[in-house]
Amino acid sequence: MITIDVRSAAGDYPVLIGSGVLDDISELSARIVGRPPRSVVTDAVVARLHAHRVAAALDVDPIVLAGGESNKRWSAVETSCRRWLADGLDRSSIVLALGGGIVTDTVGFAAATYLRGIAWIAAPTTLLGMVDAAVGGKTGVNLPEGKNLVGAFWPPALVVADTDTLATLPPRELRAGLAEVVKAAWISDHSLLDLVPVGADIGYDSLTKSGWVEMVARSIRIKSEIVADDEREAGLRKSLNLGHTLGHALEAATDYRRFLHGEAVAWGLEAAALLGRRHGVLSAHGEQELRSAAQRLGPRPAIDDLDPERVCRFIATDKKRDAQGVAWVLPTDDGVVLDQRVETSEAIEVMRELQRG
Ligand SMILES: NC(=O)c1ccc[n+]([C@@H]2O[C@H](COP(=O)([O-])OP(=O)(O)OC[C@H]3O[C@@H](n4cnc5c(N)ncnc54)[C@H](O)[C@@H]3O)[C@@H](O)[C@H]2O)c1
Ligand SMILES: [Zn+2]
């Protein structure tokens, strides 16, 4: 088991990464947070596959939320809070969020607001949840108008990432999560790229158990260092948006139906590599290296049929826009540069270049 301590203004918290660590949740929680969780909240898929492991040890009947981005909404927060009330949870109670980023974002936000805030534990069960969503303290839900429009900074008291849970994750979800690993590696640990499995049929078996632990831990370390230095995204935390400007636009332009988030980010990493080269901040070699790291994650939904002008209009409405244009994070040979102004016309050209292959 690897432990990473995350610094936070709201209180530091440990992230435990290991094979099988969920089996010890009751004891770990008692030792680190002082008491075991009184409630487990999960989604239907994870309830079927993994919840029994914690529910039996904790002697609780899990709250099962409907899964999917469209259910990351107020009503799920209300469902959780009302059950907690019915079960007599008070201000000193701790709740456990077991699932992917949808569950941890929703339950973290419910915990932030229940009785004006109770402690929570994140037990991410997707790769994206482990390396991204569960660490950093951002919680929230969507509105019909857009993603993550209501939320709170409410860091967990503990994160328990059991990499064994990845064994049941659909390979497509696994590959999408790897795009965030590639992103993190590019930001500050290029040697991590060597641990990322490659090929058209990447799956859980592509790495050993300890390989998963090491790769997840090193990715979490990168994110934790960045968020510790800039919890509220005044500067450095923006570097985590590498690949996300075009990525978000692709997701929005296809109504969040065509791409998994990480797949859109993989396209976005390629776009950022092309732009980095054009802006003279990334060498030809660096461009090739980042693009091939994204491509080696295997096939992803195509962008050929999308109108670049339409897609790039979604960039212009992104919250990263200001008077001088849209601020991109661009890759350099050994990291990233923030706040690079990119004209819409340039983004369109780059997307056309990606479509040409
Ligand atoms: N708070 C943050 O800083 C942050 C950062 C990144 C992403 N996010 C959020 O995370 C969400 C996406 O998270 P996600 O990609 O984990 O999606 P998700 O939670 O929907 O999980 C993806 C799918 O995998 C299933 N699943 C989860 N664990 C499984 C397992 N071990 N085996 C089999 N199936 C499993 C889920 O039921 C779901 O169908 C988005 O809403 C995004 O906004 C938040
Ligand atoms: Zn992301």
Task: Quote the pLDDT of residue 167.
Answer: 98
Residues with CB under 6 A from ligand 1: 43, 45-46, 49-50, 67, 69, 72, 99-103, 105, 125-126, 128-129, 132-133, 136, 138, 147-148, 165, 168-169, 173, 261
pLDDT in tens, 77-135: 999 999 999 999 999 999 999 999 999 999 999 999 999 999 999 999 999 999 999 99
Task: Quote the pLDDT of residue 319.
Answer: 56
pLDDT in tens, 126-145: 999 999 999 999 999 999 88
Tokens of 152: 């709170």
Q: For 319-338, give one letter per residue: b (16+ CB within 10 A) or e.
A: ebeeeebbbbbbbeeeebee
**Torsions phi, psi of 295, nearest 5?**
-70, -30
Is residue 247 pLDDT above 60, yes or no? yes
At 245 the three-state DSSP class reads: helix
How far apart are alpha carbons 184 and 335 in whole angstroms?
9
With beta carbons less than 8 A apart as the criterion, state whether 316 and 327 touch. Answer: no
Is residue 71 pLDDT above 80, yes or no? yes
Read off the amino acid at residue 253. A
Task: Quote the pLDDT of residue 116.
Answer: 97
Tokens of 124: 């991410």
Where is average pLDDT lowest: 27-31, 125-129, 208-212, 227-231? Answer: 227-231
Supply the DSSP symbol for 318.
S
Is residue 323 pLDDT above 60, yes or no? no
Query: Taking the mean position of all CA atoms in its chain, how far away is CA 38?
Result: 26
The DSSP result for 92-120, as a single string, is: T-EEEEEESHHHHHHHHHHHHHGGG--EE
Q: For 15-26, give one letter per residue: b (16+ CB within 10 A) or e.
A: bbbbbebbebbb
Helix count and strand count (H, E) for the chain: 13, 12
Closest ligand, as measured to the CA of 102: 1
- Which of 126, 219, 222 gets mutated to test ligand 1 (max ligand atoms within 8 A of its CB)? 126
Pairing of strands 119-124, 94-99: parallel
Report pTM.
0.96
With beta carbons less than 8 A apart as the criterion, state whether 85 and 119 touch. Answer: no
Among the listed residues 53, 175, 183, 248, the single catalytic one is 248
Task: Quote the pLDDT of residue 199.
Answer: 86
- In the chain, % helix, strand, coil (3-state, to 5) comes to 55, 20, 30
Q: Which residues contact 113 (CB under 8 A, 6 or more apart)?
A: 77, 81, 152
How many angstroms separate the alpha carbon of residue 252 from the centre of ligand 2? Answer: 14
Residue nearest to atom 44 of ligand 1 (CA): 133
With beta carbons less than 8 A apart as the criterion, state whether 66 and 120 touch. Answer: no
Task: Quote the pLDDT of residue 171.
Answer: 96
pLDDT in tens, 162-193: 999 999 999 999 999 999 999 999 999 999 99
The fraction of the chain above a pLDDT of 90, given in percent, is 90
Q: Is 223 part of the annotated catalytic residue set? A: yes
Task: Quote the pLDDT of residue 111.
Answer: 98
Is residue 304 pLDDT above 90, yes or no? yes
pLDDT in tens, 16-65: 999 999 999 999 999 999 999 999 999 999 999 999 999 988 999 999 99
- Cα-Cα end-to-end distance for the chain: 42
Length of the chain: 357
Task: Quote the pLDDT of residue 326.
Answer: 87
How far apart are alpha carbons 178 and 184 in whole angstroms?
10
How far apart are alpha carbons 199 and 207 in whole angstroms?
12
pLDDT in tens, 326-351: 899 999 999 999 999 999 999 999 99
How many angstroms separate the alpha carbon of residue 94 from the centre of ligand 2? Answer: 27
Is residue 240 pLDDT above 80, yes or no? yes
